[in-house]
Structure 1
Amino acid sequence: MAFSLSSLFHKESKSVIGVDIGTSSVKVVQLRREQGRVVLETYGAIALGPYAGVEIGRATALPAEKLAEALKDVIREANVTTKDAAIAIPYSSSLVAIIKVPAAAESQLASVVPIEARKYIPVPINEVQLDWFVVSDQKKHTADGKLEVLLVAIHNDTTAKFRSIVSEAALLPGFFEIEVFSAVRASLDHGLAPVAVVDLGAATSKFYVVERGLIRESHIINHGGQDLTLGASRALGITVVVAEERKRKYGLSGEGTTGPGLAPLPAGQAGADLKRSLELSLSPMISELTRTISGWETRTNKSLSAVVLTGGGATLRGLHDFMQSKMTNEIRLSDPFSKTQAPAFLEAILKEAGPEFSVAVGLALRRLQEIG
């Protein structure tokens, strides 16, 4: 999928590209700044299944050269014109944790954090890139004598792999960023109340709690979009390819056909089996999500103001309403393209596709801010 807007705008300023390499697809978004506005120039996505010899929608574990091939293909198809890139690092290939250090050590964090990090990182410290950020406020750490620090670590091999991918695609990386930070930047506005962000991927989903713009908690939920496809394939006795096509087209709408080549029937007379199958597959994920939210709210004595859905899985038709019917928290869909300027006739398309491109948009937004 690709759409280029470059012919609709006169180019004056420098463009940047956000690159999100997931397990089931590669997404790119090209933005530029014009007269204080962020302009969407082009975006695109390409499925990785065919590069691995499996069905579209399936999670893959491709070598760097195959990922570079896919990245080059989507860059060409989306008519990307810039080399200035920002690259996402998968959450699964990184460590994000809140650690506590003595408040008295605040002036020596450069030496204290690497020592404390050894408790959380199962490899030698010299094999990872470390970064950290103080997240506790002055009153809190003065009261309990502890300083809360957000610890971020990426293995050197991971960085080297992604550097080789973008180099092969002839891109110039401005920075590498763990996907959680990119998704949050594109999905949320500035606010004080805690919000959960749920990134629905192909193999797994990620859960983040964001408060005052800072990530307070994060972990992986082992349920993803391919579980829905495989469940529908088994339940309906259809191939994985057909199950994925029907999932994408009909989702939880209850619409569908009775068979190949037959005319669609009204909602309620067709697609009911698909809807039922998808709901059954979603139930474990929603149950785990509900338990996770309840545990966090009980532990912190705070309430989440909303749950924001992002990632490719969030584009499933009817998902918002289904999850809202099962959960007490307000459910919202990420709308990253709302932070950009684009032609009005694309508004509905961009709103629908938006959740899948949250990470790529978030990367490009940060890169634009960096270059001024």
Structure 2
Amino acid sequence: MKKSFVDGLKEMLHIETALPRDVVVGVDFGGSTLKVVQLSKKQAIPTLDTYGEVALAPYQGGPEGKVVTLNIDAHTKALRDVVRDAGVVAQSAAITLPYGATFTVVLTIDSVDPTEITARIPVQIKNLIPVRLQDVTIDWFPFAHDEAAQKTTVMAVAVHNHTLAQLREVVTRAGFSILSTELEFFSTIRVAAHGDKAFVVLDLGATSGKVYFVHGGKLVGVHSIASLGGEGVTRRIAAAMGGAFDAAEAKKRDGAVPVPDEILTQAAREVSSLITSHTHAAALAAAPCIVVGGGARVRDLSTAFGAALARTVELGEPFHHVAYPQILKDTLTRMGGAYAPSLSVAYAAVMTK
């Protein structure tokens, strides 16, 4: 993993305490599951200790795979359960904030001065997000500078304060001290990185699919694709099978069924349109696509998306950035993409001096 790439991103890491970082658990709050990855530093090498996942809908009496919003008590119980079952022993946690907890807006600011940009962003963003400014925390990072025109194109990100506070309370109630928080797309990109080459990341979450464009070592685009949400895909599979949602979800997670052709076609059309209209269209035109997220476990996904997108598509393998027992190689290669955010945020925390 190239440090220069990570340094090229403006990571929204908020380091809060000087807690020990030799053993850290990364926590990924997904829409339908909660995932944890514990890493430790052994002789300066980040090493996998354990990992685990728990479905959230059963805590409301629903089937696995459905997107739910749990209250703090249920969410805390889910985290405690997966921590216990996975054998997590870390006392410090690093957490990722889900995409759905944020609003992202691309803005062009008439300045190249960071202090002035920071002051101007709230003024420009207030009419573009459906919440009050006092209800969100705003941060930003640059896409491009135009020194001649004295303009900067930035991505401004507004995070719901209420959601952030709730997730932090869940983690502290579960017995952890919080080392850091980070937006999930930064975490995902860190472990999908192809050096400084342009690449596309397709993140198949339960609520929606997300596509991230990276060029020159920088994130240059974030988009949501509703048709690729895991719950919706399961509903389509269930309808095609003439079966129940939970049976279709089990087959999908086991890699026993493919993504329906109509979903692939629609998603490929949307991704291609986004690339064609992008400022860096030429560089992204032939860029490889890395697929991560829980939906990456679907059968023959890379082959199907490769044909639909007419480009090289490969499954993300985030665990390749850490040491782990070779007996786990096949398992982690097949399903590791689902753990990209939780592994990445733990990696960043355990490797921070």
TM-score bracket for this pair, using the shorter chain length: 0.7 to 0.9
- Return the letter of the residue paired with 2:218: L
Unaligned runs of 5+ in 1: 1-11, 253-274
- Return the letter of the residue paired with 1:45: E
Which stretch shifts more, 72-81 or 212-221? 212-221
Pair 1:250–1:118, CA change in 2 (3 A): closer
Question: How far off is 1:150 after superposition?
Answer: 3.0
Question: How far off is 1:300 after superposition?
Answer: 4.3
Partners of 2:118 and 2:53 lie apart in 1 by: 40
Question: How far off is 1:135 after superposition?
Answer: 3.7
- Return the letter of the residue paired with 1:303: L
Q: Which residue of structure 1 lines up, in the alignment, with residue 350 of structure 2?
A: 368
Question: How far off is 1:310 after superposition?
Answer: 0.6
> 1:6-47: per-residue Cα shift (whole Å, max 9, x none)?
xxxxxx972011100111110000111222311011100011
Unaligned runs of 5+ in 2: 1-19
- Return the letter of the residue paired with 2:332: L
Cα pair 1:195 1:210 within 8 Å, conserved? yes
Pair 1:129–1:78, CA change in 2 (3 A): same
SS of corresponding position for 2:182 = strand
Q: Which residue of structure 1 lines up, in the alignment, with residue 236 of structure 2?
A: 231
Matched, 1:127 2:127: no
Matched, 1:164 2:172: no
Partners of 1:280 and 1:109 lie apart in 2 by: 43
Partners of 2:261 and 2:252 lie apart in 1 by: 12
Q: Which residue of structure 2 lines up, in the alignment, with residue 289 of structure 1?
A: 271
Cα pair 1:207 1:219 within 8 Å, conserved? yes
SS of corresponding position for 1:103 = coil
Question: How far off is 1:178 after superposition?
Answer: 1.2
Q: Which residue of structure 1 lines up, in the alignment, with residue 312 of structure 2?
A: 330
Structure with the greater relative contact order (CA < 8 A, sep ≥ 6): 1 or 2? 2
Q: Which residue of structure 1 lines up, in the alignment, with residue 47 of structure 2?
A: 39
Cα pair 2:265 2:308 within 8 Å, conserved? no
Partners of 1:281 and 1:100 lie apart in 2 by: 34
Q: Which residue of structure 1 lines up, in the alignment, with residue 150 of structure 2?
A: 145
Partners of 2:115 and 2:231 lie apart in 1 by: 47
Pair 1:155–1:81, CA change in 2 (3 A): same
Q: Which residue of structure 1 lines up, in the alignment, with residue 204 of structure 2?
A: 200
Residue 218 of structure 1: which of 210, 222, 226 is its match?
222
Matched, 1:355 2:348: no
> 1:79-113: per-residue Cα shift (whole Å, max 9, x none)?
00012111111111112333221235445334223
Q: Which residue of structure 1 lines up, in the alignment, with residue 11 of structure 2?
A: none
SS of corresponding position for 2:148 = helix
Pair 1:351–1:118, CA change in 2 (3 A): same
Question: How far off is 1:221 after superposition?
Answer: 0.7
Question: How far off is 1:129 after superposition?
Answer: 1.3
Partners of 1:104 and 1:226 lie apart in 2 by: 42
> 1:243-281: per-residue Cα shift (whole Å, max 9, x none)?
2222233434xxxxxxxxxxxxxxxxxxxxxx5x73344
User: TM-score normalised to the size of structure 1?
Assistant: 0.83
User: TM-score normalised to the size of structure 2?
Assistant: 0.87
Matched, 1:155 2:160: yes
Pair 1:245–1:111, CA change in 2 (3 A): closer
SS of corresponding position for 2:162 = helix
Pair 1:55–1:286, CA change in 2 (3 A): farther
> 1:278-337: per-residue Cα shift (whole Å, max 9, x none)?
33444333332233233327x744334111111000111211111112222211211100
Which stretch shifts more, 286-295 or 87-96? 286-295
What is the aligned length?
Answer: 332
Cα pair 1:106 1:147 within 8 Å, conserved? no
Residue 318 of structure 1: which of 300, 308, 323 is its match?
300
Cα pair 2:34 2:55 within 8 Å, conserved? yes
SS of corresponding position for 1:317 = coil
Percentage identity across aligned positions? 29
What is the RMSD of the two structures over their aligned residues, measured on CA atoms?
Answer: 2.1
